[in-house]
Amino acid sequence: MSRTKITWRRQAMGLTAGMAVAALALTACSGGGSGDKATGPAAAISQADIDKAMTTPTKLTFWTWVPDIENEVKLFEAAYPAITVDVVNVGQGADHYKKMRSALQAGKGAPDVAQIEFQHVQSFALGDNLLDLTPYIPASTSADYVPWVWKQVLSTDGSKIWSIPQDSGPMGGLYRDDILKAHNIAVPTTWDEFATAAKTLHAADPNVYLTNMPGNDMGQFTAMLWQAGARPFGWDGDKQVTINVTSPEATKVAQYWQDLIQAGDVSVDPDFTDTWYQGLANGKYAGWAPTAAWAPVFLQGTAANTSGLWRAANIPQWDASGSPVSANWGGSSDAVMKSTQNPIAAAQLALWINHDPASTLMLANTQFLFPTTNATLTSKEFSDLAPEFYGGQKVNQVFADISKTVPEDFSWLPFMDYAYSAGQESVGKAIADKGDIVGALKAWQDALTTYAKQQGFTVK
């Protein structure tokens, strides 16, 4: 099978030699042999095979933008001295994906293991770029992870494991305790209370907003749709996609923020910009809500001067009577590329980094990646931390509890790069312009539908 494949390749290469010269001249490819590609055997890999692979000197390349992940990799290399891992940071987010897609398309220079955020897993699965990890990891692995998180890394039919979860972002809220107390405002528990609080606060002090709603963060906006019960995206794993960003639930979210924004009760600065960092540090925003579990530590670095003044809370609810519902914003995983020459070692690296108790605790407590394993989430070393920045509040415990309230059934389109980009051009622009956000949902829907059809999908 693989032999015929190679022969076919050779012939194809001969035919397109001219093209290949051009491609070589254009892309300064890094090395990489042309041996057998991993073909993903159906049967589970035996422990003997794993032991053999893990004691054979092997070099792996790992693309990730997690700062200082070299420390966890060192633990892995200590456990498996035969394996050397080359950690490469090729850029964060979009830059990282651009380079991955280029390398994968070129067929050369792709890493063995790469970080992929939850929302982009399916798009790499669509390109047939990912190795199904099912045979490479113990069947019991799934039980070690938070159920909704595990769902994020499976194929759409649940039969394949595309990656190992690294961190997650269950959504809550962070508020300035001092500002709210000064204006006698309680931490809002429902979105109705949140709107009233935003109005009251801004009326009392025109320089202060309860929160900021950026027009450039479709990740956050999508997570709000998730919380409100909208299921805007779907993919059957083949040719059919579901696109429904104009559902009543989505419209409810858009209408809610449109009212607050047009009344001027929340600001609309783009997030993760200097203006926004300043706003968090100088009290322009009395809260960051909704935000995610990775935010508490991020904030400590951004607004160090406000230490002791912040508190974490649950995300406001749409339905006060029911059990609380949250959603996820952010979070990523480590996947093994199908093109790897060393599938067993690569799979072990992806799993070990995100499964070994010492490694996951280090990720949680020194890199502040919100855990995905049940063990770390419930470990005392993690949940008992009471940072001074939050006045001694056990912030991790707050978000660990929220993690239990994230609905499992949220799925993605296999082209979320485009979906977010088109969302920012429509919904995001309406937010920034304080315009018709509800109407912009329709524009987003149309853009997505047109694109999906152009790309050969059928749209449900």
Q: Which residues would be at the binding site for other proteins (CB under 8 A)?
A: 19, 21-22, 25-26, 94, 98, 101, 126-127, 215-216, 238-239, 270, 273-275, 278-279, 414-415, 417-418, 421, 424-425, 428-429, 431-433, 451, 454-457
Structure tokens belonging to residue 206: 């025109």
Tell me whether residue 190 or residue 421 sits nearer to other proteins (CB atom): 421
Task: Give min distance, CB of 331 to other proteins, in A.
Answer: 21
Task: Give min distance, CB of 250 to other proteins, in A.
Answer: 20
Tell me whether residue 72 or residue 271 sits nearer to other proteins (CB atom): 271
Tell me whether residue 21 or residue 203 sits nearer to other proteins (CB atom): 21
Tell me whether residue 197 or residue 280 sits nearer to other proteins (CB atom): 280
Q: If 0-12 CB within 10 Å is exposed, 13-18 middle and 19+ buried, where does residue 62 land? A: buried
Expressed in angstroms, the distance from the first to the final Cα of the chain is: 37
Tell me whether residue 2 or residue 240 sits nearer to other proteins (CB atom): 240
Q: How many CA atoms lie within 13 A of 322 on its CB side?
A: 10
Residue 290: asked if its preceding bond is cis (omega within 30°), the reply is: yes
For residue 416, which of 334, 347, 330 has the smallest C-alpha distance? 330
Residues 118 and 207: their CA atoms lie apart, in Å, by: 37
Beta bridge partners of 291: 172
Task: Give min distance, CB of 18 to other proteins, in A.
Answer: 9
For residue 133, which of 6, 44, 215, 67 has the smallest C-alpha distance? 44
Radius of gyration of the chain (CA): 23
3-state helix, strand, coil in the chain (%, to 5): 50, 15, 35
For residues 100 and 113, is the Cβ–Cβ distance under 8 A?
no
Task: Give min distance, CB of 106 to other proteins, in A.
Answer: 12
Q: In one letter, which amino acid is 76?
A: F
Residues 120 and 24: their CA atoms lie apart, in Å, by: 28
Tell me whether residue 261 or residue 315 sits nearer to other proteins (CB atom): 261
Task: Give min distance, CB of 104 to other proteins, in A.
Answer: 11
Tell me whether residue 318 or residue 418 sits nearer to other proteins (CB atom): 418
Task: Give min distance, CB of 101 to other proteins, in A.
Answer: 7
For residue 305, which of 288, 284, 282, 285 has the smallest C-alpha distance? 282
Task: Give min distance, CB of 214 to other proteins, in A.
Answer: 8
Tell me whether residue 221 or residue 370 sits nearer to other proteins (CB atom): 221
Q: If 0-12 CB within 10 Å is exposed, 13-18 middle and 19+ buried, where does residue 14 land? A: exposed
Residues 363 and 359: their CA atoms lie apart, in Å, by: 6
Task: Give min distance, CB of 353 to other proteins, in A.
Answer: 28
Task: Give min distance, CB of 431 to other proteins, in A.
Answer: 7
Tell me whether residue 159 or residue 455 sits nearer to other proteins (CB atom): 455
Tell me whether residue 19 or residue 82 sits nearer to other proteins (CB atom): 19
For residues 135 and 346, is the Cβ–Cβ distance under 8 A?
no
Largest CA distance in the chain: 76
Task: Give min distance, CB of 361 to other proteins, in A.
Answer: 34
Strand segments (E) across 392-447: none
H or E segment to which residue 346 belongs: helix 343-353
Residues in the chain: 460
